[in-house]
Amino acid sequence: MTSISPRHFHVSVHGSDQHPGTCEAPFRTIQAAAEKAGPSDTITVHAGVYREWVNPPRGGESDESRILFQAAAGEDVWIKGSEQIQQWEQVGEEIWTAHLPESFFGTYNPYRTEVGGNWFRALPDEERIYHTGAVYLNGHWLKEAVSKDALSETTEGAWFGETDSEWTVLTVRFPGVNPNEELVEINVRETVFYPEHPGCDFIHVKGFHMEHAACNWAPPTAEQVGLIGTHWSKGWIIEDNLIRYAMCSGITLGKYGDDWDNRAGSAEGYVGTIRRAHEKGWRRGSIGHHVVQDNEVAHCEQAGIVGSMGCAFSTIQGNHIHHINIRGMFAGEEMAGLKFHGPIDSLIAHNRIHDCAGFGGMWLDWMTQGTRVHGNLFYHNQGQDLFVEVNHGPFIVDHNLFLSPASLLESSGGGAYVHNLFAGRILLRREPDRDTPCHPPHSTEILKLSKVVGDDERFINNLFAAGSGLQVYAAWEPEQLISRGNIYLGGARPSPVDEQAEVQECSNVCIEVQGEELILKIPEAVFAEGNRIPATSALLGTAAVSGAAYLDVQDQEIDFSRDLLGRAYDPDHTAPGPFAAPPGSSLPISRLLQGTP
């Protein structure tokens, strides 16, 4: 469907779906506008709460001919997967119930739907089932209780659901409030903004507040439904949105669904998933190329942003991802602030990622090739800030601030770590058994399957401010490790093969986040003249398994000549870490996260 000329539809809570969708006579629902819109059209949604699933039936045609969904400038527009409930009956001290007929939920009842899928794990000390639904009191969700009796044993807000063929009964402990006098909402929709069918390309979503999605576990071997997701499409822009309270994942750049969903939970099974994805169009010209920027993503129990292969050739920048998996309700191998499989030729830059549990801040798992992780700020994460697993590279990690107790879990080969600040431990994990793919440069095709060469790493001009440093490689007897021009403070020590390393015995290192400021106390000696040489793509060489060079997506050399604040490094005495010169005692976080590499 192609518009003869771009049209502009309007949506208002005061409108009607029988209207033509003009500014003077707007639609009532966003879906009504989506049904009418075609390439190059714009849908502007005005202030208010819209309780609906936006299911675009079509997309645009190109980067220049998108369908734009936008919140009206300066107006708060909420899209929710929940409904407000006010018919609560008190049945005990602080205990209330609501009886809801099956027709209330339509075709999807979150209180019947169990959380689960490949690599999902229930907590070892709790034999229980979790459901995709939740109850929200004044904007914040309550935990699901293990039983109805358990509601009387806690002083915190909690809920328990019971279902039969006709009714869903929710029993909730509301501490100290009458729920009929408060804002109480419950999930009724699996997702908020997600095309039912794949191949819905070139959509732009901007400026919304979106919350309350009852989406299920999103492993790489199944369709990945999130609060908002691209569903195996190309060329989306998701920007400047608040995305929060998804039972599992906030933003999904993921796989389509098929008969193999959640039936391929092994390394061999995922190789089969990748081969089937090629049959479904996983090629550079067809899938990925998304831009996800300047969003705030919070309060999701699996991942803030997740993607299997559909994240390839994408740019993820300027996002604020926080409070992921902090309730610790369940566990599994897909939990992190950002979790990608196959982010080929993707840029992940200038994101702020903190207070993420599970496996920590960012987890790049399989097929991280041509990927660049640049200028991100990590702190207060459990697990580790960055986990790279069974990749063959080349991938580049440069100018990042890793400030959590564990900075890096390295379980890959082909990584290049340049001008980073590591304030936590470096951990190594061998991967001697799994055969995982590598690709020709800029391609999704499988060049070969290989085991990981675990010491095929480069650490150039980094600042290790605490933790173990690279001495963890001593037990590996590394043969291919390149380590040059690094400085080690606060007890950190070099690897056995370090060149031009400096070890400074100082304890007055302080690097931490306080509010919106990064507080820094780095010895002046770090920035004194040394014999470090500038990092270049030529210096990094080629990755051992793939044989590919450390170049950008246009096969040009990477420019490492400027620091995180845009200042040039002295080419004769290059400073280590992300700062070319002393940055001062404090820096606004917003200044750290500006710009593009």
The pTM of the full predicted model, rounded to 2 decimals, is 0.97
Three-class SS of residue 462? coil
What is the number of H-type helices and E-type strands within the chain? 4, 49
Three-class SS of residue 314? coil
Q: Where are the domains of the chain?
A: 8-79, 82-187
- Total count of residues recorded for the chain: 597
Contact 8, 41 (CB under 8 A): yes
If you compute the radius of gyration of the chain from its CA atoms, what whole number of angstroms results? 25
How far apart are alpha carbons 138 and 175 in whole angstroms? 12
How far apart are alpha carbons 475 and 478 in whole angstroms? 8
Q: Among residues 533, 469, 457, which one has the least CA distance to residue 499? A: 533
Q: Which amino acid is at 164?
A: D
Q: Among residues 135, 51, 130, which one has the least CA distance to residue 98? A: 135
* Structure-token pair, residue 10: 């309007």
How far apart are alpha carbons 122 and 114 in whole angstroms? 11
pLDDT along the chain (597 residues), means of 10: 80 98 98 98 98 98 98 98 97 97 95 96 78 97 94 94 96 97 98 98 98 98 98 98 98 96 95 97 97 98 98 98 94 96 98 96 98 98 97 98 97 98 95 94 97 95 92 91 95 94 82 94 86 93 97 96 95 94 92 82
* Structure-token pair, residue 521: 């106390």
Contact 382, 360 (CB under 8 A): yes
How far apart are alpha carbons 59 and 38 in whole angstroms? 7
Contact 404, 360 (CB under 8 A): yes
Burial class (CB in 10 A: 0-12, 13-18, 19+), 148: middle
Contact 232, 199 (CB under 8 A): yes
Q: What string of DSSP letters covers 201-250?
A: --EEEES-EEEEE------TTS----SEE--S-B--EEES-EEEEESSEE
Instruction: Give pLDDT, residue 125.
Output: 62
Contact 315, 563 (CB under 8 A): no
Q: Is the dihedral of CA 79, 82, 85, 91 positive or negative?
A: negative
Three-class SS of residue 440? coil
Task: Report the C-alpha dihedral over residues 327, 328, 334, 337, rounded to 10 degrees.
Answer: 40
Instruction: Give pLDDT, residue 126.
Output: 64
Whether cis (ω within 30° of 0) applies to the bond prior to 394 is yes
Q: Where are the alpha helices (DSSP H) in 302-461?
A: none
Task: Tell me the pairing of strands 48-51 and 77-80.
Answer: parallel
Query: For the domain 82-187, what is the CATH code?
Result: 2.60.40.1180
Q: Where are the alpha helices (DSSP H) in 80-155?
A: none
Three-class SS of residue 286? coil
Instruction: Give pLDDT, residue 507.
Output: 65
Interior/surface letters 360-384, b for 16+ CB within 10 angstroms, e for the rest: bbbbbbbbbbbbbbbbbbbbbbbbb
Task: Tell me the pairing of strands 436-438 and 448-450.
Answer: antiparallel
The helix (run of H) or strand (run of E) holding residue 161 is strand 158-163
Instruction: Give pLDDT, residue 477.
Output: 85
Q: Among residues 40, 31, 32, 35, which one has the least CA distance to residue 7? A: 40
The residues pairing with 286 across neighbouring beta strands, listed in sequence order, are: none
How far apart are alpha carbons 402 and 381 in whole angstroms? 10
How far apart are alpha carbons 386 and 376 in whole angstroms? 11
* Structure-token pair, residue 306: 């997740």
Instruction: Give pLDDT, residue 467.
Output: 81
Q: What angle do CA 368, 486, 591 make, to 5 degrees?
A: 70
